[in-house]
Amino acid sequence: MLEQVAEIIRHAQRGVVLTGAGMSAESGVPTFRGNEGLWAKFRPEDLATMDAFIANSKLVWEWYKWRRDLIRQVKPNPGHYALAELARWIPDFTLVTQNVDGLHRLAGSERVLEIHGNILKNKCIACDRAIELDDEIDPKQIPACPHCGGKIRPDVVWFGEMLPEETIQEAFEAAERADIFLSVGTSALVHPAATLPVVAKRHGAILVEINPDETPLTGLADFNFAAKSGELLPELVEMLSRVGKTE
């Protein structure tokens, strides 16, 4: 089956990869809907919202600070490196990630559509300006925006918020023109990200899913690999390099 996917990629002109938290699991970043980790008792839907921030910004910042500390310590895994490599095999290649950890760029992927933002960046809750700070946020003393005095928040998309408009539009355009779409390590539960593979398939793309567990996409996909992305993606790229690109 993997050889068949490699063959499709050899002929593909346009491809999209959508990644989710499972992509970074082998780097040691807990997934959102997994049961491990210190914060497993909280649901992301209860912390990653404006309502939660207004009600208890200290708790929300404690959660983000824990995640930031963790993310600063982890490294890309072989799956991230394989995707950076895969970009060389498909002329029109778009990498869309729901992950806010920045690991794709660290692995060398040059163009990454971070549709849920980046956890290491800050912005103002009121005027939405990007804010650069020298020191990490202290949840007990959240700094105020130097422009308008609003509270500083992480620059990620929270539940109920719009995604960055140009970025998500670019992702949908890429999905519509894709010959092949790979959905990797995402539970495909959070929209609009989860709509991307459906749109791609509707427009004629071959849909490939890489996920040890079943998701709402599993029945729709042309190829399912119940495997870890950090193992399967390097195998795929290795297979591609053995034969080379078909013009």
Residues in contact with ligand OAD by the rule CB under 6 A: 20-22, 25-26, 31-34, 44, 48, 98, 116, 156-157, 185-187, 189-190, 210-213, 215, 228-230
**Shortest distance (Å) from residue 24 CB to ligand OAD:** 9
**Shortest distance (Å) from residue 213 CB to ligand OAD:** 4
**Shortest distance (Å) from residue 144 CB to ligand OAD:** 24
Cis-peptide, bond into residue 91, ω within 30° of zero:
no
Q: Which residue(s) pair with 113 in the sheet?
A: 96
94 token code pair: 């778009």
**CA gap 181, 177 in Å, rounded:** 10
**Shortest distance (Å) from residue 11 CB to ligand OAD:** 25
Active site residues: 116
DSSP string, 153-218: EEEEPPBTSPPPHHHHHHHHHHHHH-SEEEEES--S-STTTTHHHHHHHHTT-EEEEE-SS--TTT
Toward ligand OAD, which CB reaches closer, 14 or 94?
Answer: 94
**CA gap 148, 164 in Å, rounded:** 22
Toward ligand OAD, which CB reaches closer, 10 or 30?
Answer: 30
Toward ligand OAD, which CB reaches closer, 42 or 239?
Answer: 42
Toward ligand OAD, which CB reaches closer, 94 or 187?
Answer: 187
**CA gap 28, 5 in Å, rounded:** 28
Reduced to 3 states (helix: H, G, I; strand: E, B; else coil), residue 238 is helix
Toward ligand OAD, which CB reaches closer, 59 or 144?
Answer: 59
Q: Which residue is nearest to ligand OAD (CB)?
A: 22
**CA gap 99, 18 in Å, rounded:** 10
Assign residue 28 a region: left if phi > 0, alpha if psi is -120 to 50, beta otherwise? left
**Shortest distance (Å) from residue 185 CB to ligand OAD:** 3
Assign residue 57 a region: left if phi > 0, alpha if psi is -120 to 50, beta otherwise? alpha
Q: Which helix (H) or strand (E) holds 2?
A: helix 2-11
